[in-house]
Structure 1
């Protein structure tokens, strides 16, 4: 299942068939060098009036088994509650379920919305796991190596990027003059450039914190999934983004 591609009608039929026969379907999205893998249920609310469940950043097989185990427990009557800690799900390490903000549904639960008649009329919770010392991602001592492995879908709807809010990114003086950003590049080494023009004059380059730039133009949140070595362009603020591979030889 690839959420970045157009809807797969054949896959949609398989999802509906699995829900009809088993009560739910398990969706999996493979990760890459930038984005974490994740797995999620489809149909729990339709079949059992239980929130759908999503989990990020663990080994793929572990996530599939975990979601399947949770779904089977729901079939037998278990109800997992948001903002409640559980110690019997992931090898006795604490986990907690967070209520997913619906602002994230179009990013991670698009097939769920399709099942529910192209609507967001279903609840969802995120299973959040701890590091090997029992720290949650919001705890000060959480292992920094796993910092970006699981976005927290109950918060930060005004800043969806995986990076730190204080990350310095490049733009030009024309952005500060009010020109709309129409060209965005996520470099292969993880840097970001946001410009009003496709080939900016770097004598005009200025740096700004990523969070400040997003406040200036919240529509940039649409590009939080832009991968390394990709660039995005649009005609104006009301136009959709086009995503392309960046070829440095063209510069």
Structure 2
């Protein structure tokens, strides 16, 4: 077994390396909240075995750790894991598959791995699990209640939000006329607001699709993990977002 870490606080490089040397990889675990699923990923598979790192979402933290440890053992025993193959080694009666992760998602999910390697030039796979009917998230009929537990990191690089592209969100006529989005709110009830003023007038409100907002400003994608009740603001398009 390797040690787990349950957030994205800095971890000493020596601690990570010590566990990689002893167990083959180090596992980072990130807890779920009311909006975002929990996930876990490996560090060290690429260094030790020239194998892609692995990430998995949406299961309990204990199960995520167990699944990734099992994957590490297979790799250590000379069984590299491949895309497009069904694996029944991880959860009984639930064959799982791997997807190739697009590097545009690395800044969003691999914070500690990126710091450890000092670059994004390592490969990664996503381990994806099916519903109780053995259907995967991209297949018709997949359990809609589980849809947002697994973002698929091999696709939709232009739209990183967990919701549907056609989700109705609030903005104002000023944003649609070209003013920059400087204030973003994710309400407790799940509604999104994108504004150019801190207190917009209701008479200026417009209802548009979430996808249309990301087309107006693709950088809004980086706020996909703004949890319920959180907001973000910036002074201009050139400034970094500040979170509240």
TM-score interval, normalised by the smaller of the two chains:
over 0.9
5 Å-filtered alignment, 1:178-189, equals: 178-189=178-189
Q: 1:95–1:127: 8 Å Cα contact kept in structure 2?
A: yes
Cα drift, residue 111 of structure 1: 1.3
SS at match of 1:84: coil
Q: Bigger shift: 177-186 or 74-83? A: 74-83
Q: What's the TM-score, normalizing by structure 2?
A: 0.95
SS at match of 2:42: strand
Structure 2 CA distance for aligned equivalents of residues 78 and 92 of structure 1 = 21
Structure 2 CA distance for aligned equivalents of residues 174 and 235 of structure 1 = 16
SS at match of 1:115: helix
Structure 1 CA distance for aligned equivalents of residues 21 and 200 of structure 2 = 54
Structure 2 CA distance for aligned equivalents of residues 2 and 156 of structure 1 = 26
Structure 1 CA distance for aligned equivalents of residues 54 and 87 of structure 2 = 14
Matched length: 239
Query: Over residues 41-61 of structure 1, what are the superposed CA-to-partner deviations in whole Å (9 max), with x where a residue is unaligned?
Result: 110010011110110001111
Q: Bigger shift: 147-156 or 77-86? A: 77-86
1:128 equivalent in alignment to 2:133 = no
Cα drift, residue 9 of structure 1: 4.3
Query: Over residues 132-171 of structure 1, what are the superposed CA-to-partner deviations in whole Å (9 max), with x where a residue is unaligned?
Result: 0000001111001101000000011100000111100000
Structure 2 CA distance for aligned equivalents of residues 21 and 58 of structure 1 = 26
Match 1:8 to one of 3, 6, 10? 10
Structure 1 CA distance for aligned equivalents of residues 163 and 81 of structure 2 = 30
Q: Bigger shift: 186-195 or 102-111? A: 102-111
Q: 1:9 to 1:86 in 2, by over 3 A?
A: closer
Structure 1 CA distance for aligned equivalents of residues 14 and 102 of structure 2 = 27
Structure 1 CA distance for aligned equivalents of residues 121 and 26 of structure 2 = 18
Counterpart in 2 of 1:147? 147
Counterpart in 2 of 1:97? 98
Cα drift, residue 72 of structure 1: 1.1
Structure 2 CA distance for aligned equivalents of residues 237 and 123 of structure 1 = 32
Q: 2:7–2:28: 8 Å Cα contact kept in structure 1?
A: no
Counterpart in 1 of 2:62? 61
Counterpart in 2 of 1:209? 209
Counterpart in 2 of 1:236? 236
Cα drift, residue 112 of structure 1: 1.2
Counterpart in 2 of 1:199? 199
Cα drift, residue 83 of structure 1: 2.4
Cα drift, residue 239 of structure 1: 0.8
Structure 2 CA distance for aligned equivalents of residues 59 and 65 of structure 1 = 10
Cα drift, residue 13 of structure 1: 3.1
Q: 2:29–2:40: 8 Å Cα contact kept in structure 1?
A: yes
SS at match of 1:69: helix
SS at match of 1:148: helix
Structure 2 CA distance for aligned equivalents of residues 46 and 184 of structure 1 = 39
Counterpart in 1 of 2:111? 110
Detail structure 1 runs of 4+ shifted over 6 Å in the superposition.
Answer: none
After superposition, the CA RMSD in angstroms is: 1.1
